[in-house]
Amino acid sequence: MKKAVVLGATGGMGFSLVEELVSRNIETIAFARSKDKLEQYSQEWGPLATIFAGDVFNEDQLKEAISKADFVFHAISIPYQNWDPNLSNILSLILGECQTQKKPLIYVDNIYAFGIQQEKVHELTTKNPHTKKGKFRLKLQQQIETSGVPYIIAHFPDFYGPKAESTLLQYTFEQLLIKNKAGYIGDLHLQKEFIYIKDGAKALVELALREDTYGEEWNIPGAGSISGLEMVEIASTHLGKPIKFKPIHRWMINTLGLFNPFMREFSEMMYLNETPVLLDGSKYEKRIGTLPKTLYKVGICSNLDEIAKKNSEHIS
């Protein structure tokens, strides 16, 4: 049986990838900087996961981790304000080791490179990024495609779900449980797409385990689209009390950006909360099969329960 390494294993997608891999009886090296978090998460992953506390910028540690595996998942995520040049440097190091050791790379990507789109985007949709971060993500994709390393590039919408701690919805849900109200980025009536993070991991692992999926891009959409008002209804019913979302508009983000480096970088991505990019997953379903799609009602309720449990454990 092949072995995998997940780089960025303590992030939301990294955690779910390790979880999915070991659920398929695949020995997995969980690589991340935080030894404490790795040890904590290893109790949930079980004995098939081997933790490796290391820094991707340490070439010896990266080389050792990749040498232990047959394929490499890149799920490392860092704050917007640290993207350039760090993401490119990280990718260069990983690609260099993959090329030297002849290991394939499975890359977790977002939708930024597509730019503004009026229709659902498929894998061959012309990318026309108009933001700094969109252009940067396209550059990273091209870096992979021209590396000579066998690759899978997977595009995902925004994540939510277990361990997805740095996502927009996670912040919203955490506030709901504290105050019964929360800020919500964008128009409450607008239909946007999110993906339950465990679904994304299942679909990506399925791609990685096949031999005819490499050298391509793949879209992995969520369970359709949903509005903020629909989320309010789901959360209110589940919690058994009235809740409220307060829309956060572009001008508010711009104002916060005067004082907060992350918000300053986030402001250019507000177009996604005005003209959402929706993914077409028909390629996956035609060639691989039905995409995992947790209904929003199920995923949101599960997410709220997990946050509530975490909060109660922290208090106790």
pLDDT per position as a tens digit, 151-200: 999 999 999 999 998 888 998 999 999 898 999 999 999 999 999 999 99
Q: Which residue has 């990280």 as its token pair?
A: 90
- Cβ-contact 183, 175 below 8 angstroms: yes
Cα–Cα distance measured from residue 23 to residue 4, given in angstroms and rounded to the nearest whole number? 13
4-161+195-222+277-293 has CATH 3.90.1150.10 classification: no
Paired tokens of 116: 């503004």
Based on the number of CB atoms within 10 Å of its own CB, is 316 exposed (0-12), middle (13-18) or buried (19 or more)? exposed
Q: What are the structural domain ranges in the chain?
A: 4-161+195-222+277-293, 168-190+225-275
Q: What is the pLDDT of residues 207-256, one digit of tens each?
A: 999 999 999 999 999 999 999 999 999 999 999 999 999 999 888 888 87
- CB atoms < 10 A from the CB of 224, how many? 12
Q: What is the pLDDT of residues 99-150, one digit of tens each?
A: 999 999 999 999 999 999 999 999 999 999 999 999 999 999 999 999 999 9
Cα–Cα distance measured from residue 55 to residue 33, given in angstroms and rounded to the nearest whole number? 5
